[in-house]
Amino acid sequence: MRSIKMGLLLVCSLFISVVYSMEMPKMKEIVRPVFPNHRLSMLEVGGIGDGIFDNTAAFERAMEQLEAEGGGRLEVPFGVWLTGPITFRSNVEMHLQLGALILFTPNLDAYPLVKTSFEGQTAFRCQSPISGRGLRNVAITGKGAINGSGDAWRPVKKMKVTEAHWKSLLQSGGGLADPGLWYPTDKALKGANAQWPSDLNEVEQVAYMNSMKDFLRPVMVSFIECSNVWLEGVLFENSPSWNIHPLMCTNVLVEGITVRNPHYAQNGDGLDLESCKNVWVLNSTFDVGDDAICLKSGKDEEGRKRGMPTEQVWVEGCRVFSGHGGFVVGSEMSGGVRDVVVKNCQFIGTDIGLRFKSTRGRGGVVERVWVDGVSMFNIKREAFLFNLYYGQKAPMDGSKEPMTYMASEETPVFKDIYVTNVISNSSERPLLFNGLPEMPISGIRITNSSFSSRLPSYLSESQDVEMENVAFLVEDGPALLFHQVERVAMHRMNLQSKAETAIEIKGDRSKKIQLDGLDVP
């Protein structure tokens, strides 16, 4: 082990650039879709918003009538509109007036199995409460709310809830897949314990899955291969699985929405953009049970064959409370992610702030990501994370992984990511970079930022890392731990820790670390 002792305050005067300057990507402006000047109220098609009447047929009549007339606005008035799945048509804006609540039925028999996509791969799932495929010009707007009755679907882990909550779940029915995992229905429990044979044809698969279909939770809002998608103003909450999932869509505008799920919601993501192009996410709030704003592009071989990256994404003015990650890329990113801007966001109480994750087998390239202006407070784990061992145990604290893997099309690549103007107050760890020996994380530039934390930053299997005017205030241990890193340049750093050693360097492949004129060969 090699270490550099620098005291409590370190100021660098020599700067050696190892990362080429990267200009912020230019984004295509997205215009809100325009709809025909025709209005249709749910009251006109026999709907009743009393929270009791089943409006499934009324919503379908409304969609059919608007489609026949070339589109328009479906007005959902004040009230509680109980319903089964709603299938959108092109050129339809569903507008929820103030006080309107669309409540999806907890009767799971209302959601038939359909062929769709789940976690980046083709799969059978229950029909989404809101869905549309191959549409043009669709919108959900207004000041109302949409509730997916997710508690009727979701499993719950004992460790995530109080003892009183756990007891109430056990008393409500369902069953345990193991002592700490409860499922709400017998069909869901059967699915959790099933072997899921892979040698069945499609008809046999559907027959087999129907007996346990409650296990196959849908995303709440599913738009697939649609263009000009607009979500504005509405509260989306309590989804069975992911909340909002645009898949292979172009021109997506999300502005001023609120997305909520209980903190214990399994797979309770907020917004998952998968293989989408030209996306703006503006001034929205997320308080969810899993990742909040997440970019994906398919999983493993199927994602690579699809070959549709998520690209040209602008995220600005968003706020995240509970969530596994504030802004997230992966882990299903096999088609790539590129040309992304995240500006002026807040993460308050989130598990991880900036979260980049993948694993061997995915492939795909994540590149040209620009983060400018994120304030974070009370981050439970890392403020800024790269984890290329997602779902596995990553080597830490100087342990050496054998160089037994060769880079291939299955190797994920993360490169050229610029982070500036980030303030993180109170996290477990500021930076945690766990790259792969055969494909280190590369081209990371962090500038004009400040991090306070309990533990030090840890960078492993990373190269071409540049930091300028960055402060680290660490309570326990040195400020920076480097393991198998190459070509690191630091300029005007402020490193404060209680340890005598400000920087520790480990690994026989660590080299070309440059700091204030001191070059560690």
Better-scored residue on pLDDT, 38 or 1: 38
13, 37, 95, 133, 223 from 71: Cα distances, Å:
64, 8, 13, 16, 17
Does 460 map to a domain?
no
Answer whether 321's CB lies under 8 Å from 351's CB: no
> What average pLDDT score do residues 378-390 get?
97
Residue 504 in domain:
no
More confident residue, 207 or 291: 291
Report yes or no on 373 lying in a domain: no
Active site residues: 290, 324
Q: Is residue 176 part of a domain?
A: yes
What is the mean predicted confidence (pLDDT) over 29-52? 96
Please tell me whether residue 45 adopts helix, strand or coil conformation: helix
Q: What pLDDT, on the 0 to 100 scale, is given for residue 402? A: 61
Contacts of 56 (CB under 8 A, 6+ apart): 83, 84, 85, 105, 110
Q: Which of 420, 61, 120 is nearest to 297 (CA)?
A: 120
* Residue pLDDT, tens place only, 422-455: 999 999 999 999 999 999 999 999 999 999 999 9
Question: Is 95 part of a structural domain of the chain?
Answer: no
pLDDT at 394: 75
Report the alpha-carbon distance of residue 339 to residue 317 in Å, rounded.
Answer: 18
What's the mean pLDDT in 470-477? Answer: 95
How distant is the alpha carbon of residue 188 from its chain centre?
25
Whether 193 is covered by a domain: the verdict is yes
Express as a percent the part of the chain with pLDDT over 90.
86
Compare 25 and 358 and report the one with higher pLDDT.
358
Average pLDDT on 454-473 reads 96
Res 492: pLDDT: 92
Query: What pLDDT does residue 521 have?
Result: 44
Nearest to 249 by CA among 282, 216, 271: 271
pLDDT at residue 169 greater than cutoff 60: yes
pLDDT, tens only, 1-21? 445 544 333 333 333 444 445
Q: Read off the pTM.
A: 0.94
Say which residue the tokens 């003015």 belong to.
317
Segment 193-207 mean pLDDT: 85
| Per-residue confidence (pLDDT) for residue 106, from 0 to 100 | 98
3-state secondary structure 308-323: CCEEEEEEECCEECCC
Q: How far is residue 317's CA from residue 346's CA, in Å, rounded to a whole number?
A: 8
Per-residue pLDDT for 273 more than 90? yes
Instruction: Give the pLDDT score at 401.
Output: 62
Q: So what's the pLDDT on residue 4?
A: 54
Q: Is the pLDDT of residue 321 over 80?
A: yes
Predicted local distance difference test score (pLDDT) of residue 403: 62
Query: Which tokens go with 60?
Result: 């379908």
Indicate the average pLDDT of the chain: 93
Per-residue pLDDT, averaged over 367-388, amounts to: 98
Question: Does 108 map to a domain?
Answer: no
Q: Which domain holds residue 202?
A: 156-210
pLDDT for the residue numbered 124: 93
- Total structural domains in the chain? 1
For 92-116, what is the mean pLDDT?
98
Q: Is the pLDDT of residue 396 over 80?
A: no
- For residues 496 and 519, the answer to whether their CB atoms sit within 8 Å is no
Check whether 364 has a pLDDT greater than 70.
Answer: yes
Q: 399 falls in which pLDDT band (50, 70, 90)?
A: low
Confidence category of residue 27, pLDDT binned at 50, 70, 90: confident
Count CA within 13 A, CB hemisphere, residue 402. Answer: 1
Q: What is the DSSP string of 433-448?
A: EE-BTTB-EEEEEEEE
Band of pLDDT at residue 76, cut at 50, 70 and 90:
very high
442 to 342, 484, 519: CA distances (angstroms): 19, 13, 19
From start to end of 52-154, where are the E strands? 72-76, 79-83, 86-87, 92-96, 100-104, 113-118, 121-126, 130-133, 136-142, 145-147
- Residue 257: the pLDDT is 99
What is the reported pLDDT for 393?
A: 77
Among 36-45, 59-68, 120-129, 499-508, which stretch is predicted with the lowest mean pLDDT?
A: 499-508
Residues 222-255: tens digit of each pLDDT: 999 999 999 999 999 999 999 999 999 999 999 9
Beta strands in 288-440 (DSSP E): 293-296, 310-316, 319-320, 325-329, 337-348, 352-357, 365-387, 413-434
In this prediction, residue 12 carries a pLDDT of 38
Average pLDDT over residues 210-218: 96
Whether the predicted pLDDT of 370 surpasses 90: yes
Q: Is residue 115 part of a domain?
A: no
**Looking at residue 29, what is its pLDDT?**
86
